[in-house]
Amino acid sequence: MEKKSSLNNKLSKFLEYVLGDVLAEVSGIRSRAMFGGYGLYRNGVIFGIIAESRLYFKVGETNQADYEARGMGPFTYATPKGKKYAMSYFQVPEEVMEDREEIERWVVKAVGASLEAKGKKSKK
């Protein structure tokens, strides 16, 4: 089993890769440490997370099918009591991460999904 500092170092290196390579050409990107991973924001709107050295983007009605069509699933976690939860963040396919034009389109859709979800919450 890897030590915690080794896992944190691996996660930090993945964050550097995502910010310095995958999202380098996308404007307005910031990150913030959260819950053992990182939140990704574009112009102040959270659209992605990095957890377990994987990149996940927010999904909603307009983009979830894009992820499912490529066989990607949601970020899941388990509580200490063993209850499992799936979040509305799906793993970004590797081929999308490697395509600078495609990744920006997916970021835009993820930001839209995040704004859509906030709109639904405020209407309740």
| Residue ranges of E strands in 18-110 | 29-34, 37-42, 45-51, 54-58, 74-78, 84-91
pLDDT tens for each residue of 97-106:
999 999 999 9
pLDDT score recorded for residue 35: 84
Residue 87 scores a pLDDT above 50:
yes
pLDDT, averaged across the chain? 90
Annotated domain spans of the chain? 4-114
What confidence tier does 8 reach under pLDDT thresholds 50, 70, 90?
Answer: confident
User: Tokens representing 68?
Assistant: 């499912």
Which CATH architecture is the domain 4-114 placed in?
2-Layer Sandwich (3.30)
Q: Give residue-wise pLDDT tens across range 44-82.
A: 999 999 998 999 999 999 999 999 999 999 999 988 999
> How far is residue 118's CA from residue 52's CA, in Å, rounded to a whole number?
26
Q: What is the pLDDT of residues 21-31, one digit of tens each?
A: 999 999 999 99
Q: Is the pTM of this model over 0.95?
A: no
